[in-house]
Amino acid sequence: MKMRLLKISDYQSVYNLWKNTSGMGLRSLDDSEEGIKRFLLRNPDTNFVAIVDEKIVGVIMAGNDGRRGYIYHLTVQNEYRRKGIASALVKECLMSLRTEEINKVALVVFSDNTNGNNFWQKLGFIEREDLVYRNLSINEENI
């Protein structure tokens, strides 16, 4: 397995991987090619793909606001799971955030995503019970 930075030219392969992963929570505008292009321009060094036999089999997206890091969309193709690929992507991502002097990282996992929640817990990410997560869609086209 090789890892490298995610490029916008990877979009179709990555999007197909996301679409074939249940519970990804994709948004029509945010996760469009244009939305991902904007994200990569703002966060060029913190997004990675895992490649096996010249094929993208995993992806992690992360960014920061200068104070906190945020991990988005981590997935590995089903037949490549449980081989350490997701953990390797997270490790690479966290190292890149540390390089940018980010000291704390957050992420959101759907409460019914048992596999995802177990994965993040094994990596040491704690569940915050003192917070209420809220959001507001300010563009009704972003479904």
CB 105 within 8 A of CB 94: yes
Report in angstroms the alpha-carbon separations of 8 from 51, 74, 87: 15, 16, 23
Give the angle subtended at the CA of 81 by the CAs of 3 and 102, to the nearest 5°. Answer: 50
**Contacts for 97 with CB less than 8 Å, ≥ 6 apart:** 46, 62, 64, 69, 105
pTM of the model: 0.92
Provide mean pLDDT across the span 101-117.
93
**133 pLDDT higher than 90:** no
Provide mean pLDDT across the span 97-105.
97
**17 pLDDT higher than 90:** yes
> What local confidence, expressed as pLDDT, does residue 90 receive?
98
Tokens, residue 3: 């890892």
CB 3 within 8 A of CB 46: no
Domain boundaries, the chain: 2-106
What pLDDT digit, counting tens, does each position of 52-98 carry?
Answer: 999 999 999 999 999 999 999 999 999 999 999 999 999 999 999 99
Share of the chain above pLDDT 90, in %: 79
CATH class of segment(s) 2-106: alpha beta
> What local confidence, expressed as pLDDT, does residue 95 receive?
98
